[in-house]
Amino acid sequence: MNVEVVVAHHECATLRVGDVFLKIDADQARTGIEVEAMTLAPIPTPEILWRKPPVLALAALPGKALGRLGEPSTASTSAWFAAGTAVRMLHDAPPPPRPGRSPGEFASRLEAECEWLLANGVLPADLVTRNRQIAEAALRPWTPVFTHGDLQVSHVFVDGDEITGVIDWTEAARGDALFDLATLTLGHREHLGDVVAGYGTDVDLDVIRAWWSLRSLLGIRWLVEHGFDPAAPGCEIDVLKAGM
């Protein structure tokens, strides 16, 4: 039986062995958040097989990821619509006890990350400045809902047009609904309309775009320090350039 490394960096790793995902994380607080969130979420999540710190074993989900950042999605319009519907179900559920970051906390992080990007010459000043201006539209009061917190397109699994489950709940908390929608469609703006249609209510598209810029600006240093490439085609730096 093969062992597949799904993702690995300095903080944790996920392996696939047959039909089982093994999540290895020295920070058991994160694992506790994930287990609680999957228990509370009203949408499909992986079955928890066992937990023996620092390992959490989950049953693999049927189907495949809705897409990957930096790659065109092969999923159907109906699958993206279904993803929007699932996110709305999550946001309509009673929020979990864990508080998420406030607008003020995001603003402080944004300032620090922009300073780092400029001080280290990672990005041109005009690119940082323009996207910081765009990002500020996200820093407004919001009504907290049950958010996944890291709803990357690769964390949503589909089989045909059906959502079979959502993985990686370690960032689940009370937060901004539009942050989840923006994270899901980051780098896949062509599917934003499908997701919003499935979500089934009016959303502020300018705030979605603001979260695209904000999330990308916040993520670049972490990606670089953990061995990932935010400059890969279609990834965070391309998202920032598209916002110019």
CB atoms within 10 A of CB 76: 14
DSSP state, 235? S
| Among the ranges given (8-12, 84-88, 161-165, 218-222), the one the predictor scored with the smallest mean pLDDT | 8-12
Q: What is the mean pLDDT of the chain?
A: 95
Reply yes or no on whether the pLDDT at 57 is more than 80.
Answer: yes
pLDDT of res. 1: 74
The whole-number average pLDDT for the span 33-57 is: 96
Please give the Cα distance from 115 to 222 (Å, whole number): 14
Please give the Cα distance from 17 to 65 (Å, whole number): 17
pLDDT of res. 6: 77
CB atoms within 10 A of CB 241: 14
Question: Which of 35, 37, 11, 6 is closest to 25 using CA atoms?
Answer: 11
Strands 12-17 and 3-8, by their bridges, are antiparallel
Asked if the 62-242 domain carries CATH number 3.40.50.300, the reply is no
Residues 6+ apart with CB under 8 A from 218: 106, 109, 110, 113
Q: What is the pLDDT of residues 129-181, one digit of tens each?
A: 999 999 999 999 999 999 999 999 999 999 999 999 999 999 999 999 999 99
Q: What is the pLDDT of residues 85-132, one digit of tens each?
A: 999 999 999 999 999 999 999 999 999 999 999 999 999 999 999 999
pLDDT of res. 11: 81
Q: What is the pTM of this model?
A: 0.95
